[in-house]
């Protein structure tokens, strides 16, 4: 069964390039990103893992732990990491799960029947400190992911988890937000002291509350 937003992310124990981890225990009170790769030593995946390695500090600033998964074994991962570091001019420091028996891939429905039966699609799961799934993305094997977009989504998720706002199309951290409809007009001055502008009764903007 496909994992839906709001579901508790399935727990698992797995061997990784950083040792054995128990997923929920490893996450602790952090946010998490679990992202899958069709296969080791493939070109798009190599660029993706390198891209994530280069923005590891951005994830750390946001209290986000990153975990990759591929269906190849651990020895293969270790050799692949050397290639990633060499070709992408980076240093991969986050764990990569070895999942040759497809345990994690099947648990998270990463192998789709319309794709090759032994390859994970490019799935992304953003998981909150409550261990619930906040976002899912699925890309075809041929399309590399935009990790700047994933960072943007994390910024939105963390903001909207604490404040009664939503983020508009193409929003970036620091830009105006939308006051959610549940907030009544008379509540706005106390909840959003920076002020607001009403374009329509249902479309009310306010400066980002935590900036």
Strands 96-98 and 165-166: what pairing? Answer: unpaired
Please answer whether residues 36 and 83 qualify as being in contact, where contact means their C-beta atoms are separated by less than 8 angstroms: no
- Distance from C-alpha of 71 to C-alpha of 41, rounded to nearest angstrom: 12
Phi, psi of 176 (to 5 degrees): -60, 150
**CA-to-CA dists, residue 93 to 50, 82, 140, angstroms:** 10, 11, 26
Q: Which DSSP letter does residue 12 get? A: -
Residue 101, both tokens: 């028996």
- Distance from C-alpha of 75 to C-alpha of 203, rounded to nearest angstrom: 54
Catalytic position from the list 45, 133, 159, 165:
45
Query: Catalytic residue at 177?
Result: no
Residue 44, both tokens: 């798009």
Residue 48, both tokens: 């993706």
Partners of 197 in beta bridges: 205
The torsion of the CA quartet 84, 88, 94, 98, rounded to 10 degrees, works out to: -20
Phi, psi of 125 (to 5 degrees): -125, 125
| Catalytic residue list | 45
């Amino acid at each position: 069964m496909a994992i839906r937003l709001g579901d508790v992310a399935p727990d698992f124990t797995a061997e990784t390039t950083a040792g054995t981890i128990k997923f929920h225990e490893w996450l602790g009170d952090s946010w998490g990103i679990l992202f899958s790769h069709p296969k080791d030593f493939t070109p798009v995946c190599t660029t993706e893992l390198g891209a994530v390695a280069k923005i590891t500090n951005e994830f750390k600033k946001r209290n986000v732990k990153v975990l990759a998964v591929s269906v190849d074994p651990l020895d293969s991962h270790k050799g692949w990491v050397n290639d990633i570091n060499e070709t992408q001019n980076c240093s991969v420091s986050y764990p990569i799960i070895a999942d040759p028996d497809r345990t994690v891939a099947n648990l998270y429905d990463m192998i789709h029947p319309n794709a090759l039966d032994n390859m994970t699609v490019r799935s992304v799961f953003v998981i909150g400190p409550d261990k619930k799934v906040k976002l899912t993305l699925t890309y075809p094997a041929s399309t590399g992911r935009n990790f700047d977009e994933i960072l943007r989504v994390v910024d939105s998720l963390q903001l909207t988890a604490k404040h009664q706002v939503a983020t508009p199309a193409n929003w970036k951290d620091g830009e105006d937000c939308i006051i959610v409809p549940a907030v009544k007009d008379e509540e706005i001055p106390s909840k959003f002291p920076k002020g607001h502008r009403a374009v329509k009764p249902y479309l009310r903007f306010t400066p980002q509350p935590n900036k």
